[in-house]
Amino acid sequence: MAEEQPGEFKDVFSPIDKMYKILADARSGFMDQDLVKVSRSSLENLLDELKQALPTQLKSAVELMRNADAQMSQAMAEAQKTTRKAEVQAERIVAEAQKRADYISSNDNIVKIASQKADALMAEAKERSARIVAEAQKRAEELRASSQRWCLENLQSLVETLKKLESTTQGGIENIKFKQKQNINQKNGGK
């Protein structure tokens, strides 16, 4: 019998689990232990229940992918916003330093001192702006990497879930085909 599934996939696996139970409880054939008798209507009802549950799971998978895309877009927008803020702040700092340098250099009696101070302010402003831009770019990269990891993990989980669902469904189809073939053979042998 299949193991108990988590809540979001329980609707799909519930009819499958019931089919396993029907097979486990079914009486074996006298000559062949693999041959069992099951209620056709019970099995058909469970297959109908499985069909009804599948679209819900597929809808959940699509919703998960949309959420991953939205989160990736949001992370990218936040990274761009942070980078732009840092650039604007750096431009403001450089402009302010330039204004101070211009003001100081305009006085004739302290031109030399003003030039030195202006150079120092410009160097400090460039260093500070470079630090701010580097920090913003680092944060943007961290956000991008985190968002990509989240998307990858969720999509890999979705792929595994869909593979399990396909495998289980294919097994059920093969089992039903086998039973149908046996029923045909029994009918032909019984004539």
In SS3 terms, 127-183 reads as HHHHHHHHHHHHHHHHHHHHHHHHHHHHHHHHHHHHHHHHHHHHHHHHHHHHHHHHH
Distance CA 16, CA 43 (A): 10
Domain residue ranges in the chain? 7-177
Q: Is the pLDDT assigned to residue 144 strictly greater than 70?
A: yes
Structure-block tokens of residue 59: 């809808």
pLDDT at site 1: 43
Read off the pTM: 0.38
Residue 3 DSSP symbol: P
**What backbone phi and psi angles, to 5 degrees, belong to 133?**
-65, -40
Q: What is the mean pLDDT of residues 156-169?
A: 85
Q: What is the mean pLDDT of residues 9-20?
A: 75
- Category of 39 on φ-ψ map: left (φ > 0), alpha (ψ -120 to 50) or beta: beta
7-11, 12-16, 33-37, 92-96: the lowest-pLDDT one? 7-11
Q: Is the pLDDT assigned to residue 111 strictly greater than 60?
A: yes
Whether 53 and 11 have beta carbons less than 8 Å apart is answered as yes
- Category of 146 on φ-ψ map: left (φ > 0), alpha (ψ -120 to 50) or beta: alpha
Express each pLDDT in 49-60 by its tens digit. 877 777 766 667
Quote the distance between the C-alpha of residue 135 and its chain's center. 27
Q: What is the mean pLDDT of residues 25-49?
A: 81
pLDDT at site 179: 85
Whether 119 and 169 have beta carbons less than 8 Å apart is answered as no
Distance CA 151, CA 158 (A): 10
